[in-house]
Structure 1
Amino acid sequence: MGAGSKVVIVSWFQEIARFGTVKPNILRSLSDAEFCYLFKVLAFGGTDPENHPQLASIATELATNVNGLLRVANMLADLLRKNQNVQFWFHILKRFRKSLERNFSRFGEHPKQFLEKDRPTDITMLVPPSSATLHLMPSHDETSLLLKVKLADLVKGSTTILPNEEFQITIWESRLPPFTKFIENCIADEHPCTSSDNKRHKSACKQ
């Protein structure tokens, strides 16, 4: 590296700061009010939420349930922005409610805790009825030859997933250069973990 060159490291993990030579800048999570405002801006686009009180109410509850997960918020907001229909928005809200209830009842934590720590997450209730339990697995390999689908397509029901198949899910893709993709592996498991087997879930949730 030439004289004066610098390397900027961006990471989810604070432990990476030990590689730095200057004091790190810590980006904190948005407050609940800030996150709710951001979600509504993304979901409504150029539409004024005050003119659609039912949609605004649904967006507020969704933002609360998403709990600061920006990747999921961007995916959901993109879906909602393209179909500003009360029934559709409420349908997405019900899916998300059921997904949260399933994760809390089985593992006692919000999916955010798993995603931020690169642990498996149950997304079964986000997609149309399936004979298998769907587990989102940590992965960042965009070069994988596994089948790739978009989470938004799964939520809408426009993509069919076969049981016992491992594939990759694009959680969200940035609309701005360099068009970063957030990709995770997914496993359709016909023999899911029991609610009392938390340790197996955290290790991979596979038989």
Structure 2
Amino acid sequence: MEAIFSTTMAELASRSMSSLVDRYLKHRAAPTQEERLRSLERLLLRLRVVVEEADVRLIASQAMLHQLSILKKEMYRGYYTLDIFSCRAHNGEDRRKDHEVNYSFTPSEFNPAKRVCLFRGNSRGAGQAKLLEQVLGSVRDTIEDMSEFVIFLSRCPHLHRQPYSMYLLLNKCMFGRQMEMERIMYFLLQEESAPGAGEDLAVLPIIGPSKVGKSTLIEHACEDARVRNHFSQILCFNSDDLKAESVDTIRDGGRIKHQNCGMGGGRTLIIIDQLLDIKESLWKRLYSDARCGTVSGSKIIVASRSDKIASFGTTHPLRLQFFTREAYWYFFKVRTFGSTTAEDHPGLTAIAMDIARLLNGCLLGANIFSGLLKANFNLRFWSMALATLGNIHQKNVLLYGERFVDAWEFEEPAYLRRAKKTSSEYFVIFSAYQTCSAETEAEDPKTMSVHDLLFGRVRPPAEFKVRALTSHLPPHYNYMFHCGMQALPKELSSS
């Protein structure tokens, strides 16, 4: 009996020790959150090398372009997740030494040192670990699947000499729209299979909501040397050109964007950029005139918010959607930090993420604020910019409710408050428009910059203009705001 008892105890002891060893080894084998974040950072670097190389190559294969869009989506998601965890860690450290920093000029609800960036109560603990594990696994699987893509990519010719940083590349290409750009280029450069007089004119409809980037995408396509060599003339019509009832032919309005009679075989590219609908009767007259008055190989691109223009096309319409929040953050971060590494400035990155969240996917707002922040690279100014933008968002949401998205593209008067308050009145953006001549607006004494509007001390006149942005693409449009001084509505004056 004693022998049996001794044997049983020895077996139990052995099993207990084995269980303890297994649990210890399992615990040691499981990577920590910091190790997972470092792994994700290394994988994203590998992924970014491939994506940035692909951005400067001419990829004709639609399958490769689709795979590239998947690689970019995973890269944006990975960096978004990495930056969220970085901001959370930094904000945790700031809370421990918050007494050393004075944020008295920033309202507490927009104080980046007192908030967990982009996290909610149900995103803590196990939920965060699960999110990180999912993103890490997805990025790892994507990299394992891209070996054939890299091989085929090496055979694609370069578009131009690769710049040394992604932020320079953004000035040369349309961010996040490579598939759409190649779709347009294929349409424009495709030779007609059966040329002849009176044949149908190829039409590509581009459909998308306001400010999604339709006009900018077309501008980038028109600036491509291949397009300028393929067409002898590029004619552009906007909404104002088509308002006149007398517009019956392509010679009655519009402007010549490009003309080179020595090349292009006499082909004409007609761009019609219309905000809303085009009357069917007007479209039929313009199309008939263009078909009879242009040579074989001429093309039409028509862009609008309205889905009705899909019926005008001779090919499937190109539909544009807004960027995902991950892609938008990557765009904003690259434009804001430029050649500076965002990871070296976790405090500024946390503020930039909050600003990007308040901009809510607005491309014009991203370009405006990235320029402001990059020109004033310090914590105090960035915190002040966040507080100002938060105040703008708060006041206008109280006034307009869920209809308000952002002040820069809102179709009703938007109320702005300066960071340095000079009076009880608010600045109001009444409308937005664009002009062709940068020189004319720059010489106007009633024209202010966005920096002066938000952070200046001088009180402007009752009505004035603000130059928000100048496009880097010819003809270098100025994006302007018509502004004025106005008291806050009574329903908001006490809030």
TM-score bucket of the superposed structures, by smaller chain? 0.7 to 0.9
Q: Does 1:37 align with 2:364?
A: no
**1:134 aligns to what?**
427
**1:203 aligns to what?**
none
- Superposition pairs of residues 99-114 of structure 1, within 5 angstroms: 99-109=392-402, 111-112=404-405
When residues 87 and 110 of structure 1 are mapped into structure 2, their CA distance, relative to the original with a 3 A threshold, is farther
**2:387 aligns to what?**
94
Choose the corresponding residue for 2:309, options 17, 35, 38: 17
CA distance in 2, matches of 1:19, 1:132: 49
**1:153 aligns to what?**
452
User: Could you tell me which amino acid in structure 2 is paired with residue 168 of structure 1?
Assistant: K
**1:182 aligns to what?**
479
When residues 117 and 134 of structure 1 are mapped into structure 2, their CA distance, relative to the original with a 3 A threshold, is closer
**2:300 aligns to what?**
7
Residues 105-162 of structure 1: CA deviation (Å, up to 9, x unaligned): 2221364367546322222356744332222122426389892222233123165313
User: Which segment drifts farther, 19-28 or 143-152?
Assistant: 143-152
**1:76 aligns to what?**
369
* Identity in percent: 26
Give the SS at the match of 1:109: helix
CA distance in 2, matches of 1:134, 1:63: 22
Higher helix share: 2
CA distance in 1, matches of 2:330, 2:395: 27
CA distance in 2, matches of 1:28, 1:51: 32
Gaps of 5+ in 1: 197-207
Q: Does the aligned pair in 2 maintain the 1:43–1:80 contact within 8 Å?
A: yes
> 1:30: how far off?
0.6
User: Could you tell me which amino acid in structure 1 is paired with residue 397 of structure 2?
Assistant: F
CA distance in 1, matches of 2:422, 2:349: 28
TM-score, normalised on structure 1?
A: 0.78
When residues 195 and 18 of structure 1 are mapped into structure 2, their CA distance, relative to the original with a 3 A threshold, is farther
**2:17 aligns to what?**
none
Bigger relative CO (Cα 8 Å, ≥ 6 apart) = 1
Q: Does the aligned pair in 1 maintain the 2:465–2:483 contact within 8 Å?
A: yes
**1:195 aligns to what?**
491
When residues 159 and 36 of structure 1 are mapped into structure 2, their CA distance, relative to the original with a 3 A threshold, is farther
CA distance in 1, matches of 2:309, 2:450: 32
**1:166 aligns to what?**
463
When residues 125 and 153 of structure 1 are mapped into structure 2, their CA distance, relative to the original with a 3 A threshold, is closer
When residues 146 and 185 of structure 1 are mapped into structure 2, their CA distance, relative to the original with a 3 A threshold, is farther
Cα RMSD after superposing both structures: 2.9
**1:119 aligns to what?**
412
Give the SS at the match of 2:354: helix
When residues 195 and 62 of structure 1 are mapped into structure 2, their CA distance, relative to the original with a 3 A threshold, is same
CA distance in 2, matches of 1:117, 1:93: 19
Q: Does the aligned pair in 2 maintain the 1:122–1:136 contact within 8 Å?
A: yes
When residues 5 and 160 of structure 1 are mapped into structure 2, their CA distance, relative to the original with a 3 A threshold, is farther
User: Could you tell me which amino acid in structure 1 is paired with residue 475 of structure 2?
Assistant: P
> 1:75: how far off?
0.9
Aligned length: 192
CA distance in 1, matches of 2:376, 2:358: 20
